Structure 1
Amino acid sequence: MQPLAYRMRPTKIEEIVGQQQLVGPGKIINRMVKAKLLSSMILYGPPGTGKTSIASAIAGSTKYAFRMLNAATDTKKDLQVVAEEARMSGTVILLLDEIHRLDKTKQDFLLPHLENGRIILIGATTENPYIAINPAIRSRTQIFEVKPLTPEDIATALDRALEDPDRGLGKLKVKLDSDAKNFLTTNTNGDLRSALNALELAVQSTDTSDDETIHITLPIAEECLQKKALVTDKDGDAHYDVISAFQKSIRGSDTDAALHYMARLLDSGDLQSVMRRLLVIAYEDIGLANPPACQRTVSAVTAAEKLGLPEARIPLADVVIELCLSPKSNSGIVAIDSALTDIHDGKIGEVPDHLKDAHYKGAEKLGHGVDYKYPHSYPNDWIKQQYLPDRLKNASYYSSKETSTYEQRFKEQYQKLLNAQRKD
Structure 2
Amino acid sequence: MNHKPLAFRMRPKKIEDILGQEHLVGDNKIIYRMVRAKQLTSMILYGPPGIGKTSIATAIAGSTNTKFRSLNAVVHNKKDMEIAVEEAKMSGQLILILDEVHRLDKAKQDFLLPHLESGLLILIGATTSNPYHAINPAIRSRCQIFELKPLAPDDIKHALLRAVTDKENGLGLYDVAIDDEALSHFAIGCGGDVRSALNALELAVRSTEADCKDEIKITLSIAEECLQKKSFSHDKNGDGHYDVLSAFQKSIRGSDVNAALHYLGRLVEAGDMISICRRLVVIAYEDIGLASPQAGPRTLAAVQAAERLGFPEARIPLANAVIELCLSPKSNSAIVAIDQALSDIRKGLSGEVPDHLRDAHYAGAKKLNRGIGYQYPHDYESGWVAQQYLPSSLKSKKYYTPKHTGKFEQAIAQIYSNLQNKK
Identity of aligned residues (%): 49
In 1, the alpha carbon distance for the partners of 2:398 and 2:125 equals: 55
Match of 1:205 in 2: 207
Map residues 264-275 of structure 1 onto 2, 5 A cutoff: 266=269
Helix, strand or coil at the partner of 2:150: coil
In 2, the alpha carbon distance for the partners of 1:15 and 1:124 equals: 19
Task: Please say if residues 293 and 322 of structure 1, whose CA atoms lie closer than 8 Å, have aligned partners that are also in contact.
Answer: no
Match of 1:10 in 2: 12
Task: Please say if residues 68 and 96 of structure 1, whose CA atoms lie closer than 8 Å, have aligned partners that are also in contact.
Answer: yes
Q: Which amino acid aligns with 1:222?
A: E
Match of 1:330 in 2: 327
Task: Please say if residues 183 and 229 of structure 1, whose CA atoms lie closer than 8 Å, have aligned partners that are also in contact.
Answer: no
Map residues 27-38 of structure 1 onto 2, 5 A cutoff: 27-38=29-40
In 2, the alpha carbon distance for the partners of 1:332 and 1:156 equals: 47
Q: Which amino acid aligns with 1:207?
A: E
Match of 1:189 in 2: 191
Q: Which amino acid aligns with 2:173?
A: K
Residue 190 of structure 1, CA deviation: 0.9
Q: Point out where structure 2 has 5 or more consecutive residues left out of the alignment.
A: 233-250, 331-393, 419-423
Helix, strand or coil at the partner of 1:223: helix
Residue 229 of structure 1, CA deviation: 9.1
Match of 1:409 in 2: 408
Match of 1:155 in 2: 157
Q: Point out where structure 1 has 5 or more consecutive residues left out of the alignment.
A: 231-246, 301-312, 334-375, 384-397, 401-406, 420-424
Helix, strand or coil at the partner of 2:173: coil
**Structure 2 CA distance for partners of 1:51 and 1:229, relative to 1, 3 Å:** closer
Map residues 250-265 of structure 1 onto 2, 5 A cutoff: 262=265
**Structure 2 CA distance for partners of 1:57 and 1:380, relative to 1, 3 Å:** closer
In 2, the alpha carbon distance for the partners of 1:317 and 1:115 equals: 57
Match of 1:133 in 2: 135
Task: Please say if residues 188 and 231 of structure 2, whose CA atoms lie closer than 8 Å, have aligned partners that are also in contact.
Answer: no
Match of 1:55 in 2: 57
1:145 aligned to 135, 144, 147, which one?
Answer: 147
In 2, the alpha carbon distance for the partners of 1:205 and 1:163 equals: 18
**TM-score normalised by L of structure 2:** 0.63
Task: Please say if residues 331 and 399 of structure 1, whose CA atoms lie closer than 8 Å, have aligned partners that are also in contact.
Answer: no
**Structure 2 CA distance for partners of 1:229 and 1:417, relative to 1, 3 Å:** same
Residue 4 of structure 1, CA deviation: 0.8
Task: Please say if residues 252 and 324 of structure 1, whose CA atoms lie closer than 8 Å, have aligned partners that are also in contact.
Answer: no
Tell me whether 1:25 sits opposite 2:22 in the alignment: no
Residue 217 of structure 1, CA deviation: 1.0
Map residues 222-237 of structure 1 onto 2, 5 A cutoff: 222-227=224-229
**Structure 2 CA distance for partners of 1:265 and 1:177, relative to 1, 3 Å:** farther
Residue 74 of structure 1, CA deviation: 0.7
Residue 271 of structure 1, CA deviation: 7.9
Match of 2:116 in 1: 114
Task: Please say if residues 44 and 124 of structure 1, whose CA atoms lie closer than 8 Å, have aligned partners that are also in contact.
Answer: yes
Task: Please say if residues 222 and 228 of structure 1, whose CA atoms lie closer than 8 Å, have aligned partners that are also in contact.
Answer: no
In 2, the alpha carbon distance for the partners of 1:418 and 1:206 equals: 78
In 2, the alpha carbon distance for the partners of 1:295 and 1:104 equals: 46
Match of 1:321 in 2: 317
- Measured against aligned partners, the alpha-carbon deviations of 1:264-304 in whole angstroms (never above 9, x if no partner) come to 983xxx789xx99x989x979x96257759998xx99xxxx
Helix, strand or coil at the partner of 2:83: helix
Match of 1:175 in 2: 177
- Measured against aligned partners, the alpha-carbon deviations of 1:125-160 in whole angstroms (never above 9, x if no partner) come to 111211211111111111111111121221111111
**Structure 2 CA distance for partners of 1:133 and 1:329, relative to 1, 3 Å:** closer
**Structure 2 CA distance for partners of 1:68 and 1:382, relative to 1, 3 Å:** closer
Task: Please say if residues 4 and 196 of structure 1, whose CA atoms lie closer than 8 Å, have aligned partners that are also in contact.
Answer: yes
**Structure 2 CA distance for partners of 1:331 and 1:223, relative to 1, 3 Å:** same
- Measured against aligned partners, the alpha-carbon deviations of 1:61-90 in whole angstroms (never above 9, x if no partner) come to 101012100110111111111100110112
Match of 2:48 in 1: 46
Residue 111 of structure 1, CA deviation: 0.8
Residue 124 of structure 1, CA deviation: 0.8
- Measured against aligned partners, the alpha-carbon deviations of 1:14-67 in whole angstroms (never above 9, x if no partner) come to 111111111111211111111111110111111101100110110111010121
**TM-score normalised by L of structure 1:** 0.63
Task: Please say if residues 99 and 123 of structure 1, whose CA atoms lie closer than 8 Å, have aligned partners that are also in contact.
Answer: yes
In 2, the alpha carbon distance for the partners of 1:76 and 1:16 equals: 31
Task: Please say if residues 222 and 229 of structure 1, whose CA atoms lie closer than 8 Å, have aligned partners that are also in contact.
Answer: no
Residue 228 of structure 1, CA deviation: 8.6
Q: Which amino acid aligns with 2:125?
A: G
In 2, the alpha carbon distance for the partners of 1:417 and 1:33 equals: 65
- Measured against aligned partners, the alpha-carbon deviations of 1:242-277 in whole angstroms (never above 9, x if no partner) come to xxxxx99xx999xxxx89x949983xxx789xx99x
Residue 322 of structure 1, CA deviation: 3.1
- Measured against aligned partners, the alpha-carbon deviations of 1:335-384 in whole angstroms (never above 9, x if no partner) come to xxxxxxxxxxxxxxxxxxxxxxxxxxxxxxxxxxxxxxxxx87575589x
Bigger shift: 56-65 or 151-160? 151-160
**Structure 2 CA distance for partners of 1:201 and 1:27, relative to 1, 3 Å:** same
Q: Which amino acid aligns with 1:204?
A: R
Q: Which amino acid aligns with 1:76?
A: K
